[in-house]
Structure 1
């Protein structure tokens, strides 16, 4: 008979990774901060188009900033790889924004003063999540968590340029400017 060992740290890493992923769908800063150590840093790559590394408060502000023009930015996981030796999880995902109706509905726009905007966008992302040692919390459902010490987010550089442009247009629309 074969015995399978269950690695509680692997389950905690996956649970934390899932909560991290879900924060993009909900923009919940509470959930975002629940899974991070107090000094967790989120870095972005490639450096050529990425913002500087973000502290927890800066990343929470980033989520709020996204929520000003999007109702959600849900990630679809293509692959998740657990690396117990490095205490890391690698996530390969895609994401498409769900724009606020006030953005795509064209508030302040008319066909005479603006172009038709194609709001479709799907970007590709990779997240390298590095965890603290030991389980440090619970997810509110009795599951153990391993908090994040560091996140490296690799963005789709060509796609992100398009996304930044769409976000700028969305902000102009919300201000009532012509696009």
Structure 2
């Protein structure tokens, strides 16, 4: 299990600078990433879709510092309860300096590993649904500013 725990923590650490290549390298080629709760409307992503998602975040976000609160292990699975603090790019924040750009969300990741126990085959990510709406709003403002248009923070 130690190896699986290291892989899970490396996965979370890849968000520090949005290193999608490091993230994808920890997954099996057929890895599927699911998001919950379903009410958020976030579709399951394969590796290529997840890579594209992270690349798009790089336009406005420098990284996400993930802090592990607890880790649970068993049966080719690692469950991590964590918090994440998002650091927006200065250019994005300059678009509305009066806006509170601090964002910290809470997450639970359930990593299922391949038979060898070396790579992640499936990820189920539970997101803090209230906080997700806040970060979506901040991303819209930042993307709008970087695209040269004014976007209301509401």
Q: TM-score range by the shorter chain?
A: over 0.9
Distance apart, 1:172 and its partner CA = 0.8
Off by >2 Å, runs of 4+ in structure 1: none
Distance apart, 1:116 and its partner CA = 2.4
Residue equivalent to 1:126: 108
Distance (whole Å) between structure 1 residues aligned to residue 143 and residue 102 of structure 2? 16
Find the structure with the greater CA-based Rg.
Answer: 1
Question: In structure 2, the residue corresponding to 1:122 is in which secondary structure?
Answer: strand
Distance apart, 1:50 and its partner CA = 3.5
Backbone CA RMSD of aligned residues: 1.3
Distance apart, 1:42 and its partner CA = 0.0
Distance (whole Å) between structure 1 residues aligned to residue 82 and residue 6 of structure 2? 16
Residue equivalent to 1:44: 35
Once the two structures are superposed, residues 66-120 of structure 1 have per-residue CA deviations (whole angstroms, 9 ceiling, x without a partner) of 111000012111111111xx210001111111110101122xx6xxxxx821111
Q: Select the structure that is richer in strand.
A: 2
Once the two structures are superposed, residues 103-146 of structure 1 have per-residue CA deviations (whole angstroms, 9 ceiling, x without a partner) of 1122xx6xxxxx821111111010000000115xxxxxxxxxx1
Among 77, 89, 97, which residue is 1:100 paired with? Answer: 89
Once the two structures are superposed, residues 11-47 of structure 1 have per-residue CA deviations (whole angstroms, 9 ceiling, x without a partner) of 1101111111011112112211211000000000000
Normalising by structure 2, report the TM-score.
0.93
Match status 1:54 vs 2:45:
yes
Structure 1: 5+ residue stretches without partners = 1-9, 110-114, 136-145
Q: Number of residue pairs matched? A: 151
Distance (whole Å) between structure 1 residues aligned to residue 131 and residue 138 of structure 2? 11
Distance (whole Å) between structure 1 residues aligned to residue 51 and residue 68 of structure 2? 22
